[in-house]
Every structure is written in C-alpha cells, then in structure tokens.
C-alpha cells in the first residue's frame, strides 16, 4: 500500500438530483471521518461552479443528526449545477482552489458529463504534478452509465413510478366506464430505462395487468401502431394504462414532443410533452377520453417512496469512493457489481473515469418484448432487486423532515473568479 | 328506538375515487356484521350504474384479510361511475332491484352529485311506501361538501401534495442556478381547497419557504400580477415554486385552460393544462426556464402517502352510516364535526341529503392572505390536523399490495335493463 496522502478532501454533487444522492454524500462524510490522513472534509457548493468560486463549506461541522438525515433527504444538499468546464482558465482555477485549500481527495457524484469533468481535472493535476486523488460516484436516475451494473438513483425512481402506476391503476379500474385511457409521462431523454421500470408495477406473470403499454425511446414511435395497440387493450380490459418516456422519437428519429404535430390542446406549440401528445392522438383518433399525468421532478425527488436497496448502495458507493482513494486509486469511478448467484448481491468496483465519460449504456433491445410495448423476464430479473425495501422517512406534523446543512463557509484564500 | 328493520344492505361508491374511500367501505362492512337485522351485505358495482344492471356482489363472502386490506387500497374497490339517474324509469328500476333483493339499507359514498342521487332514491322509496333507509357517506378530495367540517379524502390528497412539494423544493433548491421556476398543477375544479393545502409543505412561520405562490380558482387570475409575483420571489429566492389549481379562472370568469371540450355526464368540463399555461407565461414573458408537474390522478390514488387521520375518519364515517341507519335515520349524510378544543377531535354527525346535494362549500376568502397567493393561520389551523399520521401500506417485492375483491356475484332476479 502506498504512503498515505495527507490533506483535505472535497466532495461535490453535479447534474440532476436523485432521491439518494445525499445518501452517497453521507457515505463520503462518514467514511472520511475514519481516516486520519484526511484532515478536513469540505463540501463544494453547486458542483464545479461553486469550486470555481471558492464556495466551500466545512462538512465536519455538521451534526451527526444532520448527516444521518442526509440519507433520506432528496435534492442535492450541496447544490448542483449543469455548468461544463470548458476553458483552460476554468481548469487552472480548479487546481488553484484545490492547492489553496490543500485538497488531495476529490469526490464527485454525477452522471457521465460530471465524470468527464472529474477525469479532466484528474489528468490536469497529474500533468501539473499536483498530488490529487479523484474518485467519481455514480448518480443518475437515467441508469445510462457504462461499466456499472446499475446507477444509484435508478432503483428509487422506478420504485416510485411502479408504486404510482399501481395506485393509478386502482383508480382507473374503478373509473373504467368513464376514463378509458390513462397516460403517465416519465423522464428519460435518451433511453427508456425509467419507462421500462414502470413494468415492475405488475409481475411478469401478469401480462394483462397495468401498465398495458410502455413506449420507449428505443422503439420508433408509430401513431398508427399506437392507436391499434390501444384498441387491442380496450377490447380486453376496461381501461388502458400507457407509460411513455419523455424522449419518445418518431420513425424519422425526431422527438415526438417537439415535432410539428406535438402542439398541445391549447395551441401553444412548445407546451406539453410526449404524454400530452399521446393524449391528443387518442382523443382525436378514437374520440374517447384520455387523461395524462406528468410526474416531472416529483419522480426524482420522491424520497418518501425510495428503495432501501438503492439507498444502501448509494451510501456504499460514497464510502467506497473514500476507501478507494485512501488505497491509492485515482481517476476512477465507483461501480456497482452484481454477483452471479440467484440471490441478489451487490459489491462495489472501480472503472476508469474516461470509460464512463465516453459511454452511454442503452437498454438492451432483447429485453423488450416483440410487441415493442412491454419488457421480458430478463428485464424483470435485472430491475426487480433494485426496488426492494422501503426507506423510512421521519415525518413531523404531517410532512417529511429533511436535512438542512448549517453550511459553515470555509474562508476564501483567493481573489474572486468570474464565471 | 324504532323496531329493527330486517333485510339486506347495499353499499356502493360513486364519483372520482380517493385514497380512503375503500376505508369507508371497510367501515360499512365491519359495522354491518355487528347487526343481526342486516342479513346480507351486498356491494353494488360501479355505483348506480351497476345497481340498474343488478350487478351486486356478496361482500360477506370476502375474507377478513381482504376487508382489512381495503383500508389502504386506493381506487374504488366496487367500481364507481359518473352516471346520473335522470329518467323516471331509472329510479323505478333502482327500487325494483332493491325490492328484488330485499335491500332495506342503502349506503352511498360520494360527493354532492352522488348525495343528490341518494336523496332522490330515498324520497321515491318513501313516496312508494318502500321501507328503506338511505345514508350517504361523504367522499371527495375536493372538500366542497357543506354541513361537514371536512371530507374524507381531502386530508390524504393534501398530505401527498405537501410531501411532494416539499421534496421537489429540495430538488429545486439544489438546481436553483438552472431551473428557476417550478409549477405544480393540482386538482380542484371549482375550489382551491386542494391547491391551498399545498401550503402545508411549509409552516406558517416560514413564509419564505416553498411553495412560494399558490394560485386558486377563488382569486381571479391576472397574467401581469403573476409575472410580477414571480419576479418578486426570484429577487429573494434562488427559485420559485408555484402551485396552481386546475380550475384557475381569469378576470372574466373563464377557465384559463381546458383540455379539450369533453364534458362528463354532469356537464363538468375536463380540466387540465393550467400548469402548462403558467409555464408558457413564464417562458414567454421572462425568458427563463420553467418546469411543470401535473400530478393528475396520482394525487387522489396515493395510498402510500395517505393521512392516517383521514383514513381513520373515512372508516369511522362508514361505521357511522350503518349505526345511523340501524338507529332509524334515513335520507341523511354522515358529517364530520370538529370539537371546539385546541386539541383536534373529530366526531360524526348527520345532515339531510338535500342540504348536501344543493350546496358547495367554498374556501373562505378570509383564509387567503391579502397577496392572494398564500394562506393565513386560520387555514393552517383548519388543515394541519387533517394530514397527521402516516398510513402503513404493506409492500411485497418492492411495490404496495392492495385488496382485490373476489366478487361473488349475487344471482340476478330480474330481466336485463338497458341503460
């Protein structure tokens, strides 16, 4: 084992939050406290944006209660950003901030853009001879990172969606005579991982239960087939529940929600999304009533319905990042590895940041049934273990209680920086 | 006390489901079992529609497990309808079905349209000399029934919305640099009870917390004021969260958004789209990014986030309906009465069905702050007790488990009836 690298650590969060990204933060904090070579535990506010502006807080000053509460708090407690480091001066500034605060360990939780940023920071530090260990922590409801079996955040979003679909199905079954078609729009700009997850609302051995039809970005959308699919379900069932990913694309490869005929019922062309578009198709072509739900940010913030498995793994990934860095690893992201046994087990591994940064994991096409609108047993085998267990969120006065960081600012050492 | 009326009882559900209407059903079943004068416990499928078609099931044949599970099952387990009895032949048929099955007790869970139906059936039976006791059970997320302090279903929908708003607020706070305005559209066709309930996401002593702006049907909507409101919040906060009721109306008294022209049997227009309308206003007038969420049916089906207080009261209302009928009452609806003490207590009472049928309870205008976009302490005092306690829903394999009735059909005695 290499000589321990003594210095401070910095953790930051990036991209869209998930309901478990703060569990990873708690994992980093708790694990960092175990290692004497880590002197201070700093948090960077708003991802790289705050690092550029030297906005650091002292995480060791937070109470143990607060750190424990982070494990069930949605959003990103440190704040996040979608800022992309581009200019050489940006990267220089990051290293300048790191040097000013003796940051020797950098942990960055995010998706592939964020891991790309971490990779570039890591490589620049090496080139400059600045001793720095950089470990990425996977985070995305989109589940599209390569080299990891799945991503923290995914299990919780599909548990919430499956629960919601199952509940709405009860409502629709009761109202079958009135509301014939229900459309639930879920996130997923480039891949159908999230929409596919809605299929967990039914067991694979109940093919006729809701959701009846799932439309994925992976399957080119045909309005004619869609109308036919609905008619077929309505021959068999008293209602039809449809789940659609927001990134649905037509046969020409364009997003249906931004193509010409996606105008909503009120004529505002840019309004509405894939769900409203499908609702319009049903009402215009079949003359029957359809309803739509757009879960939007509610789905990625739904801590009250998070998966305990996902939550545990997010925490584990945070801990593993610190352990790996202490062990001398750098320029890697923590991955989740699934055991081969029938009983689900998950361990952490590591993969090069560059590999994560440049890849996108697609939903395997052979997990989609031939009908194009449902998932097969391979998907169930993959996804079902990820939604097991319910996170217990404390409620006070009827609503959940979430962590609020006191945010003790670390004194700035440098001149302000214009971003 | 009057001579016990011996015969069968029939319970049915009507209108849009809530996450606790089945708790009322469980209350009816369990209480009916206590009284020997009630010989059979029948359920009518799909409200009056199924009664017309003589679609009755034997509820006493359901297992105790199933009846217990009804207490946390969303939807309406018997099915529901929005069918309005109009023709004299419809009413004749209802009494014919009742007579054929010796129905002497009729319990109908629903909103004011449904209580109107129950009232008419009750009056016709009296006129015809058919001995029948009719008791309505209040049910509506809209909370707009008169003569009752509040309605079963309301506490749960606003608990779910407050929870969701509080969670999304964490996400928005983290993404403040990116997504500036978040709009959450909630139900509420004629009144702002539901939208107002979102204010419980913050305590009244935190006026600056989310939701920052609540737009209610009670306050005529002005686009100019709306844009000004948003600008004011964004001067103070890093993001602005807006909650809007679907039934928002403009200064001329028209709905700002209607989704299509479809109207139901009662002439209600199907609303939806107020959220997208506001989003468009923000993007067009301020040139900043806005996101919207439309909770749709998810909000009234969210059993996994129901209020235990609401759930208990829904059950209590079902029990009270049976007790009242046994005691000789008829043509009344069970009401919920709040005690005068500071400690919240709730008892049941009774009010004439005709009174319920013809009234609509408005959100008191003096509970809305002068800014028109927030609620004052009187509203908090009213609503906060209704969301207390969390219903524990059993999960299996990662998703909630709901009751499924075996639905043993009662043999038909009459010729089929065309509806």
Contact B293 A292 (CB under 8 A): no
DSSP B387: G
Taking all residues of chain A, what is their mean pLDDT, rounded to a whole number? 93
**Cα–Cα distances in angstroms (integers) from residue A314 to residues A175, A302, A348, A385, B324, in the given order:** 39, 15, 10, 15, 54
Interface mutation vs chain B, best among A83, A153, A174, most B CBs within 10 Å: A174
Contact A295 B292 (CB under 8 A): no
Nearest beta carbon to residue A305 from set B273, B276, B304: B304
Q: What is the pLDDT of residue A268?
A: 37
Contact A289 B79 (CB under 8 A): no
The reply to whether ipTM tops 0.85 is: yes
For residue A388, which residues of chain B lie inside 8 Å, CB to CB? 397-398
Nearest beta carbon to residue A168 from set B283, B298, B384: B298
Contact B177 A46 (CB under 8 A): yes
Contact B280 A271 (CB under 8 A): yes
CA distance B395 to chain A (A): 8
Residue of A nearest to B259 (CA): A265
Q: Residue B308: which region, alpha, beta or left (left: phi > 0; alpha: psi -120 to 50)?
A: alpha
Spatial CA neighbour of B26 closest among B405, B293, B324, B378: B405
Helices vs strands, H then E, count in chain B: 13, 15
Q: Give the burial class of B269: count Cβ atoms within 10 A of its Cβ; 0-12 exposed, 13-18 middle, 19 or more buried.
A: middle
Nearest beta carbon to residue B74 from set A159, A167, A300: A167
Contact A167 B17 (CB under 8 A): no
For residue A295, which residues of chain B lie inside 8 Å, CB to CB? 293, 295, 298
Spatial CA neighbour of A123 closest among A331, A321, A327: A331
Instruction: Quote the Cα angle for A121-A125-A128, to 5°.
Output: 140
The structure tokens listed for A119 are: 């990779």
At residue B44, φ and ψ (nearest 5 deg) are -95, 130
Cβ neighbors of A418 (< 8 A, separation 6 or more) are: none
Using pLDDT thresholds of 50, 70 and 90, give the confidence band for residue A205.
confident
Statement: residue B264 has pLDDT above 50: no
CA distance A204 to chain B (A): 12
Spatial CA neighbour of A42 closest among A123, A111, A104, A96: A104
CA distance B142 to B151: 8
Strand partners, B43: B11, B57
Contact A168 B16 (CB under 8 A): no
**Cα–Cα distances in angstroms (integers) from residue B128 to residues A243, B5, B90, in the given order:** 50, 17, 15
Residue of B nearest to A307 (CA): B398
Q: Which residues of B are catalytic?
A: 142
Q: What is the pLDDT of residue B181?
A: 96
CA distance A280 to A286: 10
Strand partners, A368: A375
CA distance B126 to chain A (A): 31
Question: b/e for A320-346, b at 16 or more Cβ within 10 A?
Answer: bbbbbbbeebbbbbbbbeeeeeeeeeb
CA distance A406 to A61: 8
Nearest beta carbon to residue A399 from set B82, B163, B297: B163
CA distance A5 to A328: 8
CA distance B19 to chain A (A): 9
**Cα–Cα distances in angstroms (integers) from residue A117 to residues A9, A11, A43, A355, B226, in the given order:** 17, 14, 17, 13, 39
Interface mutation vs chain A, best among B187, B295, B391, B399, most A CBs within 10 Å: B399
CA distance B275 to B325: 44
For residue A71, which residues of chain B lie inside 8 Å, CB to CB? none
Residue of A nearest to B20 (CA): A171
Q: What is the pLDDT of residue B165?
A: 98
The dihedral sign for the CA sequence B33, B38, B42, B47: negative
Statement: residue B410 has pLDDT above 60: yes
**Cα–Cα distances in angstroms (integers) from residue B17 to residues A12, B12, B22, B82, B215, in the given order:** 44, 12, 9, 11, 24
Assess contact for B336 and B149: CB atoms under 8 A: yes
For residue B164, which residues of chain A lie inside 8 Å, CB to CB? 298, 301-302
DSSP A260: G
Helix (H) or strand (E) holding A335: strand A332-338
CA distance B181 to B240: 5
Give me the mean pLDDT over the B123-149 stretch: 97
3-state secondary structure of B160: helix
Contact B49 A172 (CB under 8 A): no
Give the DSSP letter string of B232-259.
Answer: HHHHHSSSEEEEEETT-BBTTS-BS-EE
CA distance B241 to chain A (A): 12
For residue A209, which residues of chain B lie inside 8 Å, CB to CB? none
Q: How many CB atoms lie within 10 A of CB A371?
A: 13
pLDDT tens for residues A368-405?
999 999 999 999 999 999 999 999 999 999 999 999 99
Contact A302 B164 (CB under 8 A): yes
Q: How many CB atoms lie within 10 A of CB B366?
A: 9
Using pLDDT thresholds of 50, 70 and 90, give the confidence band for residue B272.
low
Alpha helix stretches (DSSP H) within A34-87: 47-52, 64-70
Cβ neighbors of A368 (< 8 A, separation 6 or more) are: A196, A216, A218, A219, A374, A375, A376, A379
Q: Which residues of A are catalytic?
A: 142
The structure tokens listed for A130 are: 């600045």
Nearest beta carbon to residue A75 from set B173, B294, B307: B173
Contact A291 B297 (CB under 8 A): yes
Cβ neighbors of A55 (< 8 A, separation 6 or more) are: A44, A45, A46, A409
CA distance A18 to B349: 46
For residue A277, which residues of chain B lie inside 8 Å, CB to CB? none
- Asked if the bond preceding B159 is cis, omega within 30° of 0, the reply is no
Contact B272 A289 (CB under 8 A): no
The structure tokens listed for A387 are: 């939604």
Assess contact for A243 and A235: CB atoms under 8 A: no
Nearest beta carbon to residue A75 from set B171, B297, B388: B171
Give me the mean pLDDT over the B47-65 stretch: 97
The structure tokens listed for B29 are: 């079943």
For residue A395, which residues of chain B lie inside 8 Å, CB to CB? 390
Q: How many CB atoms lie within 10 A of CB A254?
A: 13
Strand partners, B240: B181
Taking all residues of chain B, what is their mean pLDDT, rounded to a whole number? 94
Question: Bigger pLDDT: B368 or A177?
Answer: B368
3-state secondary structure of A104: strand
Question: b/e for A241-251, b at 16 or more Cβ within 10 A?
Answer: bbbbbbbbbee
Q: What is the pLDDT of residue B205?
A: 79
Using pLDDT thresholds of 50, 70 and 90, give the confidence band for residue B177.
low
For residue B16, which residues of chain A lie inside 8 Å, CB to CB? 171, 175
Helix (H) or strand (E) holding A13: strand A7-13
Using pLDDT thresholds of 50, 70 and 90, give the confidence band for residue B266.
low
Statement: residue A265 has pLDDT above 60: no
Q: What is the pLDDT of residue A118?
A: 97
Give me the mean pLDDT over the B143-147 stretch: 97
Contact B262 A289 (CB under 8 A): yes
Strand partners, B85: none
Assess contact for B202 and B210: CB atoms under 8 A: yes
Give me the mean pLDDT over the A280-291 stretch: 92
At residue A224, φ and ψ (nearest 5 deg) are -65, -45
pLDDT tens for residues A209-264?
999 999 999 999 999 999 999 999 999 999 999 999 999 999 998 888 863 333 43
pLDDT tens for residues B179-222?
789 999 999 988 999 999 999 999 877 889 999 999 999 999 99
Contact B298 A167 (CB under 8 A): yes
Contact A292 B272 (CB under 8 A): yes
Nearest beta carbon to residue B171 from set A162, A200, A301: A301
**Chain A, chain B: beta-carbon pairs less than 8 Å apart:** 222
Assess contact for A388 and A309: CB atoms under 8 A: yes
Contact A176 B399 (CB under 8 A): no
Interface mutation vs chain B, best among A238, A287, A398, A402, most B CBs within 10 Å: A398
CA distance B365 to B367: 5
CA distance B122 to B2: 18
For residue A141, which residues of chain B lie inside 8 Å, CB to CB? none
For residue B176, which residues of chain A lie inside 8 Å, CB to CB? 79
Using pLDDT thresholds of 50, 70 and 90, give the confidence band for residue A152.
very high
Spatial CA neighbour of A297 closest among A12, A13, A16: A16
Give the DSSP letter string of A111-163.
Answer: SHHHHHHHHHHHHHHHHHT---EEEEEE--TT---TTSSS-TTHHHHHHHHHH
For residue A266, which residues of chain B lie inside 8 Å, CB to CB? 257, 259, 273, 276-277
Q: What is the pLDDT of residue B417?
A: 94
Contact A167 B302 (CB under 8 A): yes
């Amino acid at each position: 084992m290499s000589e321990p690298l003594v210095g401070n650590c910095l953790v930051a969060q990036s991209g869209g939050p998930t309901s478990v990204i703060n569990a990873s933060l708690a994992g980093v904090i708790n694990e960092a406290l175990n290692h004497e070579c880590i002197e201070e535990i700093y948090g960077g506010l708003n991802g790289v944006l705050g690092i550029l502006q030297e906005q650091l807080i002292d995480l060791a000053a937070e109470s143990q209660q607060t750190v424990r509460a982070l494990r069930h708090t949605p959003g990103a407690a440190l704040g996040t950003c979608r800022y992309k480091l581009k200019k050489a001066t940006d990267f220089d500034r990051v290293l300048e901030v790191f040097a000013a605060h003796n940051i020797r360990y950098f942990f960055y939780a995010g998706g592939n853009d964020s891991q790309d940023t971490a990779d570039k920071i890591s490589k620049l530090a090496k080139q400059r001879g600045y001793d720095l260990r950089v470990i990425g922590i996977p985070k995305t409801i989109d589940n599209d990172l390569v080299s990891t079996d799945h991503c923290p955040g995914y299990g919780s979003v599909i548990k919430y969606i499956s629960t919601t679909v199952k509940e709405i199905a009860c409502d629709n079954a009761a109202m079958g005579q009135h509301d014939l078609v229900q459309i639930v729009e879920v996130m997923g700009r480039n891949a159908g991982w999230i929409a596919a997850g809605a299929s967990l609302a039914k067991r694979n051995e109940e093919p006729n239960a809701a959701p009846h039809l799932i439309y994925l970005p992976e399957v080119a959308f045909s309005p004619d087939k869609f109308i036919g699919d609905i008619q077929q379900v309505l021959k068999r069932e008293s209602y039809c529940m449809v789940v659609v990913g927001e990134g649905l694309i037509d046969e020409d490869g364009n997003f249906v929600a931004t193509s010409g005929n996606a105008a909503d019922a009120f004529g505002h062309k840019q309004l509405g999304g894939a769900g409203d578009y499908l609702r319009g198709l049903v009402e215009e072509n079949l003359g029957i009533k359809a309803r739509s739900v757009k879960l939007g940010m509610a789905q990625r913030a739904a801590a009250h319905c998070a998966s305990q498995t996902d939550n545990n793994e997010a925490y584990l990934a945070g801990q593993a990042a610190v352990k790996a860095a202490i062990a001398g690893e750098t320029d890697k992201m923590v991955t989740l590895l699934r055991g081969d046994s029938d009983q689900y087990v998950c361990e952490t591994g590591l993969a090069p940041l560059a590999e994560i940064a440049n890849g996108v994991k697609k939903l395997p096409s052979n997990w989609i049934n031939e009908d194009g609108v449902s998932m097969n047993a391979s998907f169930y085998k993959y996804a079902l273990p990820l939604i097991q267990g319910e996170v217990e969120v404390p409620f006070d006065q009827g609503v959940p209680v979430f962590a609020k960081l006191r945010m003790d600012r670390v004194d700035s050492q440098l001149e302000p920086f214009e971003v």
